[in-house]
Structure 1
Amino acid sequence: MRQTDVLVVGGGATGAGVARDLALRGLDVTLVERGGLSAGTTGRTHGLLHSGARYAESDRAGAVECIEETRILKQIAGACVRDTGGFFVQLAEDDPAYFAEKRAACEDLGIPTEVVDSAAAREDVPGLAEAAERVLRVPDGVIYPSRLVAANAEDARRHGATILTGAPVQRIDIEGGQITGVAVGGNVDETVAPEYVVNAAGAWAGSVARMAGLTVEMRPTKGLMIAVEYEGLGPVLNRCRPPADGDIIVPHESEVVLGTTSVPVDDPDDFRRDEWEIETVFDECAKLLPGVTDADPRRSWWGVRPLYEPAEADREGRGISRGYVCLDHATDGVENAASIVGGKLTTYRAMAEVTADLVCDRLAVDAECRTADERLPAADDPARLDEFVATFDGQGPADEDVGAERP
């Protein structure tokens, strides 16, 4: 039986972030992931590094958290992110009052903005739609999730953590209100005896919780991304309207990623891939950047958002909060377990910090978070970062083009 202070279930950004945070605080950590790192939602996102502008008028707290975490990631993550900037584009058919509301909200929250007229915007984005009337420039960016997760896992490992991939949880044993053992299959095939368990399984958090007799109300939604060949796009493009299907274009070196949709699903492993989603994403994104219509498709993928919404909340799809919640299951009768659910890729580090704070409090560990100040290993060495990705079998479709030359 493998002994460990903390067992983290889930090898996406949040799980790897929790493992890194706790390992830096001196705890013995074991992370288990049923596939390779980033195999779930993290590796299947559009990779937008949110400035908070997308949520400024609708979720003030979430927007502030995004701009704070974006600033931190630009300092610690090196080649795991790109500081591209972003445009919120008002088309002729869009409500100018919404543009004004977003700008005012951003300014009020300390998110830097600049209003750019259509002529100046086309100098930065020559292929921008003729229907673009003005642009709000914001400090958005791009995340390469495979690199980000692998770098977090590598730093955790350097500080004593054990990272186990191909290691699905098969059973959770409870005695006297405590998790006493977690049976792990696949490449591991042994039982882990943890002092504490963190459920960071994203859209699958409800399934993991049920093994411990717990209920975590996940209401996942699927979203489609399409990568097409398109060189030279500088900033992220966002449609300046309330969030809807096909309103984001994320630049890579020789590609752009078009996204996305939001459709509720019952099972994050088993859902329809609908043709209408492909048509909608192409049609809507072409309203921002018409050249994508004729661009050669490289790949497409669906991701499943790990949205958390208690049953009493009567909202669906884009109405569900993108915020995160750290659930202390001591209130549910399991003293040594917590689930971290919801959130966005941009806020993974903050989610991990809140979770690690709870774990340390429960285990009487007096140690402060260091992840906002210490740079990730090999942050300025893309080739080395890609070696970490290969080591942890961490390649996801979101940034597959960036790592095309990976060993």
Structure 2
Amino acid sequence: MPITTDVLVIGGGATGTGIARDLTLRGVDVTLAERGGLSAGTTGRSHGLLHSGARYAEADAEGALECLEENQILREIAGECIRETRGLFVQVAGDDSAYFDEKRAACEELGIPVEVVDGDDAREAVSGLAAAVERAMWVPDAVVLPSRLVAATAADAREHGARILTHAPVESMVLEGERIDSVSLGGAAETVVEPEFVVNATGPHAGAVAAMAGVTVEMRPTRGVMVSVDHDGLEPVLNRCRDPADGDIIVPHDDEVVLGTTSVPVDDLDEFERDQQEVERTIRECATMLPAVADAPQVRTWWGIRPLYEPDEAARGGRGISRGFVQLDHAEDGVANFVSIVGGKLTTYRRMAESVSDLVADRLGVGNSSTTAGRELIGASSASELDAFVDEFDGRGPTDADLVDQDG
């Protein structure tokens, strides 16, 4: 029997599950389909930083404020999905001091809490910090465990009536006039969904999914490498205070740190080059902040694909410091019941989901507004419950592989 539903959400990363949760809390009947386990794509293959907004402050004030606000919301609603660490932007000898000053001024203007310290004070606070660090700036960054966050969001959606279908790739769509009439799912689902509305939240795959509905979504995906190495006791996230470049972030876990990242265009989202030189360059650059990582044993290496929207990236001129999201209403392309969401950051997933859900609710005539900012995620206070959700939804990713189940 076909599944009849108000909304079919395609994509089981942070944004897709966030949309499912938002809409179900408004009383909408939602079915979510993910081609693999939850967070199998971009979300689960990130570096796991919860941005404070400081990274974007001088280049994108609006995006920085979004990060700051969502950072604060997630600390309230996501419990054991978040690790309180703080963040430290460091200026290394040879870095442009004017860039540091510009970032500090922008943070202060936007209300992002900052505290500037000299190199000696920074080294006293962070064991092993490089002697070349001349000054640093504390900001309220944190670490997010994407496997837990996505699983909890999906479980919350299911608690309120959503169907969560994993290992259910979209195989085809049938259009009747200007509407998607049905969507065929394969894999473990092997069913047909008959939706009133369809949301494409498939990250870098958005173009391929949109093409099934005869719509063009131009993407410019880039790969980035993350390397986890043995290193015990780092408290804050370390950010190199310079223009975006390879190897400018170190994210602390317990006995490991995650080093990232690079940005290289890719054509094939599944079969792309894994360049060992990128790994070596990332380690080498991160070692300018924390020298011990240069010789630390490598635990695991993974690659993520950024879901960048081509027109947005072209306007920005290539690798930019902002990562805003773009909502594409395909009614303008002749498909009245279809929307795609592309770009964005893990930190702002809830806001992205709210934006899409506002559009969908309006089209469906649903008057209820979003309540996700003020409602704690189901299981958020229990690491073991969250990790059980991760297992249930086959949601383990490399980003937090050393932390999930470690606290349960």
TM-score range, shorter chain: over 0.9
- What is residue 298 of structure 2 aligned with on the other side? 297
Partner secondary structure for residue 365 of structure 2 = coil
Would you say 1:163 and 2:167 are equivalent positions?
no
| C-alpha displacement of 1:321 | 4.8
Would you say 1:259 and 2:249 are equivalent positions?
no
Partner secondary structure for residue 232 of structure 2 = coil
- What is residue 109 of structure 1 aligned with on the other side? 110
For 1:91-125, what per-residue CA distance to the aligned partner results, in whole angstroms no more than 9, with x for missing partners? 01101110000000011111110001111111221
- What is residue 33 of structure 2 aligned with on the other side? 32
Q: What code does the residue aligned with 2:298 have?
A: P
| C-alpha displacement of 1:269 | 1.3
For the Cα contact (< 8 Å) 1:103–1:113, is it kept in 2? yes
For the Cα contact (< 8 Å) 2:56–2:321, is it kept in 1? no
The CA distance in 1 between the partners of 2:313 and 2:377, in whole Å, is 40
Once the two structures are superposed, the pairs formed by residues 9-48 of structure 1 within 5 Å of their partners are: 9-48=10-49
- What is residue 175 of structure 1 aligned with on the other side? 176
| C-alpha displacement of 1:312 | 9.4
For 1:306-347, what per-residue CA distance to the aligned partner results, in whole angstroms no more than 9, with x for missing partners? 011228935564138510011111010000010011000000
For 1:132-151, what per-residue CA distance to the aligned partner results, in whole angstroms no more than 9, with x for missing partners? 00001100000100000000
Once the two structures are superposed, the pairs formed by residues 381-396 of structure 1 within 5 Å of their partners are: 381-396=382-397
Partner secondary structure for residue 318 of structure 1 = coil
Once the two structures are superposed, the pairs formed by residues 146-295 of structure 1 within 5 Å of their partners are: 146-295=147-296
- What is residue 120 of structure 1 aligned with on the other side? 121
Aligned residues: 407
The CA distance in 2 between the partners of 1:87 and 1:320, in whole Å, is 17
Q: TM-score, normalised by structure 1?
A: 0.98
Distance verdict in 2 for CA 1:373–1:210, change over 3 Å: same
For the Cα contact (< 8 Å) 2:12–2:39, is it kept in 1? yes
The CA distance in 2 between the partners of 1:49 and 1:136, in whole Å, is 17
| C-alpha displacement of 1:226 | 0.3
The CA distance in 1 between the partners of 2:93 and 2:312, in whole Å, is 39
| Structure 1 alignment gaps of length 5 or more | none
Q: What code does the residue aligned with 1:266 have?
A: D
The CA distance in 2 between the partners of 1:88 and 1:313, in whole Å, is 28
For 1:17-42, what per-residue CA distance to the aligned partner results, in whole angstroms no more than 9, with x for missing partners? 00000011111100000000000000
- What is residue 355 of structure 1 aligned with on the other side? 356
Would you say 1:366 and 2:370 are equivalent positions?
no
Partner secondary structure for residue 198 of structure 1 = strand
Q: What code does the residue aligned with 2:25 have?
A: L
| C-alpha displacement of 1:267 | 2.0
The CA distance in 2 between the partners of 1:210 and 1:301, in whole Å, is 28
Partner secondary structure for residue 387 of structure 2 = helix
Deviates more, 1:320-329 or 1:120-129: 320-329
For the Cα contact (< 8 Å) 1:200–1:340, is it kept in 2? yes
| C-alpha displacement of 1:83 | 1.6
- What is residue 50 of structure 1 aligned with on the other side? 51
Distance verdict in 2 for CA 1:162–1:338, change over 3 Å: same
Q: TM-score, normalised by structure 2?
A: 0.98
Q: What code does the residue aligned with 2:97 have?
A: P
Partner secondary structure for residue 127 of structure 1 = coil
For the Cα contact (< 8 Å) 1:264–1:317, is it kept in 2? no
Distance verdict in 2 for CA 1:67–1:218, change over 3 Å: same
Deviates more, 1:121-130 or 1:3-12: 121-130
Q: What code does the residue aligned with 2:385 have?
A: R
The CA distance in 1 between the partners of 2:334 and 2:206, in whole Å, is 17
| Structure 2 alignment gaps of length 5 or more | none
| C-alpha displacement of 1:82 | 1.1
Would you say 1:308 and 2:309 are equivalent positions?
yes
The CA distance in 2 between the partners of 1:172 and 1:321, in whole Å, is 34
The CA distance in 2 between the partners of 1:406 and 1:68, in whole Å, is 27
Backbone CA RMSD of aligned residues: 1.3
Partner secondary structure for residue 375 of structure 1 = coil
